[in-house]
A and B are shown apart, each in its own frame.
Chain A
């Protein structure tokens, strides 16, 4: 469904992506792992068109992501940002229903609010949260609101950028379970980037290891522990010694 072929991206002299090749089949959950600054977020943003690759091809359903109606393309996606990226000036329910209150998917206000409250309930938040401002919520609750916003329009493809960063282990576990449940019940294709190994094991069908701008290894999560790849081994066991330099 999503295919990246020889994707390159540099920021000045910093070559972040140096030929990424990756395939995410429809209805599967791909988790990209790798150290900080290895280009995981850039790869995700290249697919969405938030960052323009310097070279290479990115296809969704066999179509180049740069061609066709951009609004229709983006309407297929939902995204949970690392910090939530909730709009400070809007109450929670309007954040969740943002896409449902404007553009092609616009619904009457009452219906949009109803859907927002239903999605909030789906991620374990009570309806009384709906009228609060994002700043009034804890980090974990903001992540859940971000998750509710990502699934509000029932997208075919959902991206999760560091979904558990900054959360305590219990809340991280809750978010991981929610993501797994939602992706399964919606039948969505998911791409997640993380360096939290508990997230990887909870969310992934397939795993890809990104290092120095290229995919070093990819395969089913069940084979990850026995991958035999020194980069994957070092990363999943959190060893300081190995092919990945500890100081980058």
Chain B
């Protein structure tokens, strides 16, 4: 019997994983289904747009600026080993737009927004505010989940676009001020090298990452256990899950857009 114990544990873990995937799938389907079923709460949607979009701009901008600058330095240093220093503008552009822009903005949003959503909703659950919503004839999924998920999905492409531009600008600043590139040539090389497919993939990744970030915050918040420990676990779990899913989705989307 002791020999079979590990198999039993593996079986229980597999069942628990499948159950968790099932619960998340049902939660996702319920969220999407509320898109087409009134009532809607435009005020909550507007608040979510402000919180997720507008108030994330500083963190997104700073992250992209420093990353673009560091990327330019790295490409210049690495490229100089085989006399390829001149490709800095092109690689910064493609690196920021295709990968670093969406992924870093996604991860920063997971840190800033997912955690905040999970903590807020979990606290509401622990303090019976979710129950109060129900008794006041208001569906928590419609009032709390849908506005946040919809806002994040719509506003994230804009944030990623802003991040891409600022990241390229960070590379431009370092390139022209530190590495001696001509400003006009740098910008021309950047513009010439980027394709529409790069930009579309970047914005599409943003939408998917926004959906994931907000959905994870809501899911973990709604399923939080009681007490301060429950809220803490929900918050931590939401950020970890969002970050991993964003990275996994990034791989799948990159494969879909650029594998050919």
Contacts and interface: CB of A to CB of B under 8 A. Distances in A.
Contacts of B177: none
A99 B131 contact: no
B22 to A, nearest CB: 19
A83 B134 contact: no
Given A102-B39, A102-B41, A103-B39, A85 B128 contact: yes
A174 B127 CA distance: 24
B137 A81 contact: no
B5 interface: no
Contacts of B132: 79, 81, 85-87
B47 to A, nearest CB: 8
Mostly, the A contact residues are mixed
Contacts of B124: 87-88
Contacts of B136: 74, 98-99, 149
B129 interface: yes
A48 B135 contact: yes
Contacts of B138: 98, 102-103
Contacts of B131: 45, 50, 81, 85
Contacts of B39: 102-103
Which of B128, B137, B138 lies at the interface centre, i.e. has the most chain A CB atoms within 10 A of its CB? B137
Interface string B126-155: 011101101111100000000000000000
A99 B39 CA distance: 13
A96 B132 CA distance: 12
Interface in A158-181: none
Given A82-B128, A83-B128, A102-B41, A50 B137 contact: no
Contact of B127 (A45, A48, A85, A149): A85
A149 B136 CA distance: 9
Nearest to B128: A85
A71 interface: yes
Interface string A94-107: 00001100111000
A74 B128 contact: no
B217 to A, nearest CB: 15
Contacts of A74: 134-137
A50 B135 contact: yes
B135 A104 contact: no
Contacts of A70: 137
A71 B137 contact: yes
B128 A77 contact: no
Contacts of B135: 48, 50, 74, 77-79
Interface centre among A79, A83, A85, A104 (most CB of B within 10 A): A85
B137 A48 contact: no
A75 B128 contact: no
Given A102-B41, A103-B39, A85 B129 contact: yes
Interface string B104-123: 00000000000000000001
A87 B134 contact: no
Interface string B21-53: 000000000000000000101000000000000
A50 B136 CA distance: 12
11 contacts: A45-B131, A48-B134, A50-B134, A70-B137, A71-B137, A74-B136, A82-B128, A85-B131, A85-B132, A102-B138, A104-B137
Which 8 residue pairs across A and B have the least CB separation, nearest first? A85-B132, A85-B128, A74-B137, A79-B135, A71-B137, A81-B128, A99-B136, A85-B129
